Structure 1
Amino acid sequence: MSAATSAASTQPVAPRRRLSALRVVLSVALVGLLASGGFVGWQWWSAAQAVEDHEPWFAGYVDVTATPTFAFEAPASDAGRDVVLSFIVAAKDDACEPTWGTGYTLEEASHALDLDRRLARLDQLGGQITVSFGGLLNDELATGCTNVNDLVDAYASVVDRYEITTIDLDIEAGNLTNTSAGERRAEAIHTLQVERRSAGDDLAVWLTLPVAPSGLTEYGTTAVSQMLDAGVDLAGVNVMTMDYGSSRTDGDSMAMASIQALQSTHRQLGALYSRAGIELSPASLWTKIGATPMIGQNDVPGEVFGLADAEEFNAFALEQRIGRMSLWSLNRDQSCGSNYVDLKRVSDSCSGIDQGDVRFVDLLGEGFDGRPDGSAGAVTTADTLEEIVDDPATSPYAIWAPEASYLEGTKIVWHRSVYQAKWWTRGELPDNPVLNEWETPWTLIGPVLPGETPFEMPTLPKGTYPEWEGPTIYEKGDRVLFDGVPFESKWWNEGESPEAASSNPDGAPWAPLAESEVGAILDALEQ
C-alpha cells in the first residue's frame, strides 16, 4: 500500500443469499398515493428487505516481510487479534509461484519467518487471518501468470495452506492498469470461488483499490466491473483512504477527505452493481465498503492521519455500518523512538507522530465487533425493491419533473432526497447512477427530513407594495408583492419572476423579506 513499504472458466452463477445468514427483515412503509393524484415521481426502496447477518469487522494489515518482524501472534488487545497478512506476490523467476514479497516461497516462509508456527499460535489465541495478494511494489500473480488454470492453482495453494476463508486482492499501480491481467484475475477468482462453494467451503473476496475524495479511479471501477462481469461474488471493495495529494481540498482534514472518499465510492458501487443487474439498497451497499487509512504520516509529506482523524473516521464508518475497517499497518502503530529523526520520512515500524499510550488499532477498531469468518459465508443477492412516490405535502421543495428546466442552484426533491442543480439542466434524473460526479448536473444535499412540509412565505395585505409585473424594469432595492409575498430586488432585472427565489435563492434576482421584517411591517400597518 505504502510506497515506503514492501506493500502487495466456468459460467457465472447468479448471485444468491443463504437463508442461514438472514437476521433481520426491515419493513419500510410505502407512501400511499395522494387522493388528488398530486404526486410526481417515485423511488425504488427496500420493502420487507431481507438483510444478511452483517457484523462489521476489523483487521489491521501486517507486512509479513518488513523488518523488524512484527509479532502479530501476540496481539496487545482484542482489536488486533485479527490480521490481514500482506503481501502474496509472484516470484521473480516464476510468475505463477506465490511468494511473500518475492523474498520467501510459502515453504521458505515457514522456516525463515517461522510463519506457520506463528499462525498456529494466533489461532490458539482466537485470532483469524485474511491473506492479501498484490500491493504496490511487486507483481500480483495475475499480472504475469497468463495461464488461468495455473493462476487458479496458485491462488488455491495459498488458500489451502493457510486454511483461509477470506482473501484480499490489493490491486495498485501496474497491476491495476493492466486490464488483461484484471480479466485473468477475475476469471481465476470466479473459478476458485465456485469450486470452494461447491465443496461447501466459504471464500469471501475483497478487492482493495486506491481512492480519492472523488472516488475510485477509472481503472478502479474497471477492476470492480471485471469481477462482477466474471461472476465473482465480491464481499466488498476496500478503499485505501490515504495519500490523496492534490485531490484533497485545501483545509479538509484527513478524516473529512476519507469520509468523502467513502461517500463517493458508495455512489460508484451503486452504479456498478446496477449495471451488473444487481440492485442493492443504500444500506446493503455500505456493507460492501471497507476502509484502510494509513495511520500517522502518509507518503505525501503534508498528509498526517492523526488520532482525532481516527476517532472521527471510526464514528462515520460505524454510523454507516460499512463492511470492514483496516489500517496500514500494525507494524507502524506506535510512536517513533528518539533515534528516528526525520518524522516526515515514512517508517515501516512507527507512525511518525506522538501517539502516547494510544493505539490506532483501538481507535479504528472500536465498535467493529464482527470477525472475518463470520461474514465469509454471506452471498450477495439483489434486494427486493418496491415503488414509492414522492409526496408534495411532505417535500420542502418542488418535486423534480422531467419536462421542467432548472437553473444553477435550484433545489428539488426526488426519491425523498433533496438535490441542487450544479448547472442548467432539463430531463436528467437526479439519482441517475453515475461513476463520476461530473457526469451529473445534480448534487445530493441530503434526505427529506421527518415532518418537513413545503415552506410557506409570510404575506402582506394587497397594496402594501406594487404587484410584480413581468414587463416592468426593477432596480436594486425595489419591492413588490407576488401572490401576497413581499420581495426585494437584489439587482436590476426585467421579466425575472420572484417565484424562482424559492428554488434558486442564490441565482434569482429577488429575495423574500425576512419573516421578522414582514412582522414589523404588519405591526406598523395595524397601528
Structure 2
Amino acid sequence: MQRSRLAAVGLAAAVLGTAATLAATADAQPAAAAALSNNWYASAPYLMPVSNNPPDPVTVMNATGQKAFQLAFILAPDSGGCSPTWDGKSAVSSDTAVAGVVNRFRGNGGDVSVSVGGYGGTKLGQTCGTVDATAAAYQQVVTKYGLKAIDFDLEEPEYENTAAVANELGAAKKLQADNPGLFVSVTMPGTSAGTGWFGTQLLDQAKSIGFTPDNFSIMPFDGGFNGSSAQVSALENFHGLLESHLGWDSATAYSHEGFSGMNGRSDNAEIFTLADFQTVYDYATGHHLGRFTYWAVNRDRPCTTTTDNAVCSNVTQNDWDFTKFTTRFAGATPPQTGPPTSPPTNPPGTCTAPEWQKASVYVSGNSVSHNAHKWTAKWWTQGEEPGTTGPDGVWSDNGPC
C-alpha cells in the first residue's frame, strides 16, 4: 500500500541537516543494542531517519516511553545492484547518518529494528537473484547496526513478483537461522478479506519452505477502509487465513498476527483518528495479537504550518499521541521467545478469569484477566483498563495468572 515516503522538496535541506547533526553526536559505528525484550520490537513504530523531517529520537522517547523504533527503508541501489542502501540512495556500507540516529536511540536506553522494502523503489529480492545473495545483502545491515530485529515489508512492485518474494522469504529464513534471537516480522498489504491473492500466495510460500517468522502483519489502509470497524474485520479475516493457510490453531494464529496501521489521513484520504486506534488496540490486546505498529512517527504530530501528509497527520492530536499506543502495547504484550518450532496446541497463560472488555460494566467483586494478571473491581467501572488506574484506582491487582 502506498504510504507518503518523501516530503516536499523544500524539506530536503532541513532533513539532511538533521541527519548530519544526529550523526555528529555519535561515532559512525553504532553502539551495542540495548537488552530489550521482543515485545518492544513488536511495538516499534516506523520512522524514516533521513527523510520526511525526522523528529529527534530522544524527544519522542522521553515523551512517550517508547523504546524501539522501526527505521525505514532498505532498498537496492537506484543505479542497480545487490548492495543495501537507505531509500536507494545512501550505501549502508559507508553510512554515518543513520548510524548516528541509531546511537541516539541506544544512548537513551532504546533500540531500533530496520525495515526492508516498503512501497515503491527497487527491492533487493528483485536484484540479488538468489536467496543466498539476498540474505548476504541483508546480513550486511544486521551486522552494520548490530540488529536484534528486522522487518520485511513486502509491497509493490515486488509483491506480485513470485521469484522476488521467494528470495525475500528465503533470505528472512536464513537470517533467522544465522542470527539466533533475531526478531523477524513480515508485513504485507491488507484487504477487507484480510489480504489478497498475492498475500495468500506469500503465506503458502512461507509454509512451503518451513519459514515461521515471529509475526505476519497486514496494513489495513489505502484500500477503502472506513475507520476502525473495517480494520478490525480485516484483522479477524486475516486470522482465519493464518489458520487455513498455515495450519495454525486459533491461539497460535492470533499470537503471530499483527496490525500495521496509518495514523491520521491516509494517501487515499481515509481518516484514522485516535479513537480508531483505540478500537484496534482493544481488539489487538483482547485477542493477544503479537504486533501493533503504524506508519509513521514522522507524521505523529498535528499539522500547523503545512498539511503535507508525509510530516503531519491531518487529524486532531497532540505531538506523539499515536506513538503512545505502541508504548502501551509493549506493556500489554508478554515478551516472546521467538517463533515456535511447531504450533502450540494450547493458548499461552493460565488465567481463568474472563478477559477484560472495554465496553463491559463491572461491579465490586468482579474479576477479570488482563496482561497475564488477575484483577478484581473495587466498585462499578466501565472502560477503565486494569493496570492503568494505579493502586488507589478501581482495580486490585491479584498478581500473575
TM-score, length basis structure 1: 0.56
Tell me if 1:335 matches 2:318.
no
Tell me if 1:100 matches 2:81.
no
Partners of 2:101 and 2:268 lie apart in 1 by 34
Tell me if 1:192 matches 2:175.
yes
Contact 1:90 1:140 in 2 (8 A): yes
1:102 partner amino acid: G
Equivalent position to 1:217, from 179, 182, 196: 196
Tell me if 1:152 matches 2:135.
yes
* Greater fraction helix: 2
- The residue aligned with 1:83 is 69
Deviations 1:239-294 (A, max 9, x none): 1121122xx4xxxx4110110111011000001111xxxxx331221111111111
Tell me if 1:182 matches 2:165.
yes
Deviations 1:22-52 (A, max 9, x none): xxxxxxxxxxxxxxxxxxxxxxxxxxxxxxx
Contact 2:66 2:326 in 1 (8 A): no
- The residue aligned with 1:316 is 283
Contact 1:310 1:364 in 2 (8 A): no
2:48 partner amino acid: D
Deviations 1:315-342 (A, max 9, x none): 11110111011111000000011x32xx
Structure 2 unaligned regions, length at least 5: 8-36, 347-401
Deviations 1:126-171 (A, max 9, x none): 2121110000011221112103332221011111111112211101
Partners of 1:204 and 1:147 lie apart in 2 by 23
- The residue aligned with 2:235 is 262
State percent identity of aligned pairs. Answer: 26
Structure 1 residues 191 and 107, CA gap change in structure 2 (3 angstroms): closer
Q: List aligned pairs for 1:44-443, cutoff 5 A.
A: 55=39, 57-74=42-59, 75-110=61-96, 113=97, 115-196=98-179, 201-245=180-224, 248=225, 253-274=226-247, 280-301=248-269, 303-337=270-304, 339-340=305-306, 343=307, 347-356=309-318, 359-369=321-331, 374-375=335-336, 377-384=338-345
Partners of 1:105 and 1:295 lie apart in 2 by 30
1:243 partner amino acid: D
Give how far 1:108 is off: 4.0
Partners of 1:159 and 1:105 lie apart in 2 by 14
Contact 1:142 1:181 in 2 (8 A): yes
Give how far 1:191 is off: 2.6
Structure 1 residues 357 and 165, CA gap change in structure 2 (3 angstroms): closer
Structure 1 unaligned regions, length at least 5: 8-52, 275-279, 386-527
Deviations 1:459-496 (A, max 9, x none): xxxxxxxxxxxxxxxxxxxxxxxxxxxxxxxxxxxxxx
Partners of 2:343 and 2:284 lie apart in 1 by 23
1:381 partner amino acid: S
Greater radius of gyration (CA): 1
1:382 partner amino acid: P
| 1:80 partner SS | coil
| 1:209 partner SS | strand
| 2:235 partner SS | helix
Partners of 2:267 and 2:200 lie apart in 1 by 24
* RMSD, aligned α-carbons: 2.4
Partners of 1:109 and 1:376 lie apart in 2 by 31
Deviates more, 1:146-155 or 1:319-328: 146-155
Contact 2:150 2:182 in 1 (8 A): yes
1:70 partner amino acid: P
Give how far 1:117 is off: 2.6
Contact 1:255 1:313 in 2 (8 A): yes
Contact 1:6 1:136 in 2 (8 A): no
Deviations 1:212-247 (A, max 9, x none): 1221111011112212211222111111121122xx
Structure 1 residues 232 and 357, CA gap change in structure 2 (3 angstroms): closer
1:230 partner amino acid: I
Partners of 1:192 and 1:331 lie apart in 2 by 28
Give how far 1:364 is off: 4.7
Q: How many residues align?
A: 315
Structure 1 residues 313 and 384, CA gap change in structure 2 (3 angstroms): closer
Structure 1 residues 320 and 54, CA gap change in structure 2 (3 angstroms): farther
- The residue aligned with 1:388 is none
Give how far 1:350 is off: 0.5
Give how far 1:190 is off: 2.2
Give how far 1:370 is off: 6.8
Contact 2:3 2:266 in 1 (8 A): no
Give how far 1:85 is off: 0.6
| 1:76 partner SS | helix
Give how far 1:358 is off: 6.5
Partners of 2:333 and 2:101 lie apart in 1 by 19
- The residue aligned with 1:410 is none
Structure 1 residues 195 and 364, CA gap change in structure 2 (3 angstroms): closer
1:384 partner amino acid: T
- The residue aligned with 1:404 is none
Partners of 1:119 and 1:138 lie apart in 2 by 23
Partners of 1:357 and 1:120 lie apart in 2 by 23
2:331 partner amino acid: D
Partners of 1:102 and 1:161 lie apart in 2 by 17
- The residue aligned with 2:5 is 5
- The residue aligned with 1:446 is none
